[in-house]
Structure 1
Amino acid sequence: MISTGKTNKRAAGLRAVPALLAAGVFALSGCTTVHATAPATARAQAAPGAPARFGTVDCREAKCIALTFDAGPSENSARLLDILKEKEVPATFFLLGKRHIEKYPDLVRRMAAEGHEVASHTWDHQILTRIPPQRIREELERPNEAIERLTGHRPTLMRPPQGRTDDTVHRISRELGLAEVLWSVTAKGYTTDDSALIRKRVLEQASRDGIILLHDIYPGTVLAVPGIVDALKQRGYVFVTVPQLLAPGKAEPGTVYRP
């Protein structure tokens, strides 16, 4: 479990991020201008002869949206997995290593076994643009190795803490076979335990090809998930993992994806 002090530090840093991500090309303070590829563009750029769909979903035709969770596993993740199983909804989990993967290995295995995409949110939530290249590499390699040991599958996706990235992060991600995934919807669950408010925030921002950012370290967020899922299904959305959202395109290492 993350200590209150650690959680508050992360939350404070996260508050400034969503406004920076309003466009496909955006600038991060002190960093380079980042060019992001939209899911529709990834699908359009698929190699000739690529399979038309990923599993049973073709997001060129279906009204797809991806549910993603950062900073777990936590003591709340088992309940979340029960909800997702009941609702038959796949998700993408961007996991932290220190105090999370190493503390809840059975939950990591369960995520993979139940068909969710298991990805990296770094080892210790370091802001990658503020640390030297060797530490960036360590932050990305350690969770990859831990996840592969537990699931037999090495992650191909990562989410940089606070969404902060630059050319150095792109280069190292490319070398490690990782694509970077940002988001278009955030509930700011770190600011409130009010599940109704979290649900409202998500529903107000949801759109086709959206990538929803939530945190399963917060119990109020987990309690909001059933209402979010039911409301978006009523609107005709189909829930997919991030790789399904990009298919028949594939996530390219070193590329940033965001609607």
Structure 2
Amino acid sequence: MPTRTRNVAHRVVPALAAAALALVLGGCSMDTTSPADARQEAESVDQTLAAPDSAGAPSGVDCDTAKCIALTFDAGPGKDTPRLLDTLKAKKVHATFFLLGENHVLKHPDVVRRIADEGHEVANHTWSHRRLDKLKTGEIREELSRTQDAIAEITGRRPTLMRPPQGRINDDVTKVSRELGLAQILWSATAKDYSTTDSELIKKRIVDQAGRDGIILLHDIYDGTVPAVPGIIDELKKRGYTFVTVPELLAPATANPGEVYRP
């Protein structure tokens, strides 16, 4: 079944990323909302221009005028995440981390705490990376709620964003996400860094797919990814991009639980 995506004229989705997302939502009648449309709808009901509550202070960036892009990392934290955090701190960039509960959040609580303390957005990537669209409702709820609880115990705050493994969603995933207060966040640029350790290739793939209001998907658990991040940041800054977290990309909108956001 086809999907409906709301777009704005100034944003072009790269062909590779668009094709990948078509596969993600294939067979699902799921509406999606772009960051630009979320902002426009929020402004139409006179919401405040302050960024929504997040792990860090509001950036003050207006993504209607700035060339914003969100850097996101899935499936961590891992052994290289502290080095990634050092890079982000040096580059003065905040990112969004979609964390796995089992063997990641539980194994690296100090890193999870550091992610939150340094102003990054802490989000949910399930407990054990099972495909949610293949699970029963109770299993979906367990995958998400266990990670919610683990992150809240460490940071004192429950995530408001989730990313489903492989981007696979259906009506049951949406229902449970809504119940747990989680918006579903997809992406527009991916390096497929699980398939290569070539940091230059990872950088090229991301830079080639970058677009205004884009959401970059990377994994801080693969060997080639963290070394690629400094070059990605430098090149995109050179091209006029401003890095923001996902909540900052949507501001003044607040991500609605259950809603699917993708550029």
TM-score under structure 2 length normalisation: 0.88
In the alignment, structure 1 residue 73 sits paired with structure 2 residue 73: no
Does residue 249 of structure 2 align to residue 245 of structure 1?
Answer: yes
Gaps of 5+ in 2: 1-15, 52-57
Counterpart of 2:109 (choices 97, 100, 105) is 105
1:89 aligns with 2:93: yes
Alignment of 1:1-259 (within 5 A): 19-22=19-22, 27-28=25-26, 31-46=27-42, 48-54=45-51, 55=58, 56-259=60-263
Matched length = 240
For residue 35 of structure 1, report the CA deviation from its aligned partner: 1.6
Deviations 1:61-103 (A, max 9, x none): 1100000000000001000000000000000000000000000
Q: Classify the secondary structure of the residue corresponding to 2:64.
A: coil
Secondary structure in structure 2 of the residue aligned to 1:70: strand
Partners of 1:190 and 1:218 within 8 A in 2: yes
- What SS does the corresponding residue of 2:32 show, helix, strand or coil? strand
Distance, in Å, in 1 between the alignment partners of 2:164 and 2:17 is 12
1:141 deviation in Å? 0.2
- Taking the aligned partners of 1:53 and 1:218, their CA distance within structure 2 comes to 35
* DSSP 3-state at the match of 1:212: strand
Contact conserved, 1:53 with 1:59, CA < 8 A, in 2? no
SS of match in other structure, 2:257: coil
1: CA distance, partners of 2:121 / 2:18: 23
Secondary structure of the corresponding residue to residue 133 of structure 2: helix
Give distance in 2, aligned partners of 1:224 and 1:50: 38
**Alignment check: 8 A CA contact 1:67 1:91 kept:** yes
Question: Cα 1:108–1:247, aligned 2, differ >3 Å: closer, same or farther?
Answer: same
Q: Describe the shift of the 1:72–1:20 C-alpha distance in structure 2 as closer, same or farther (beyond 3 A).
A: same
- For 1:3, the equivalent position in structure 2 comes to none
Distance in 2 between the 1:187 and 1:18 partners? 13
Identical counterparts, % of pairs: 60
**Which blocks of at least 5 consecutive residues in structure 1 are unaligned?**
1-15
Q: Per the alignment, do residues 251 and 187 of structure 1 end up closer, same or farther by CA in structure 2, a change over 3 Å counting?
A: same
Q: 1:18 to 1:138 in 2, by over 3 A?
A: farther
Supply the distance in 1 between the matched residues of 2:244 and 2:195 (Cα, whole angstroms).
27
Greater than 6 Å deviation, 4+ residue runs: none
* DSSP-derived class of the 1:45 partner: helix
| Equivalent pair of 1:185/1:211 in contact (CA under 8 Å) | yes
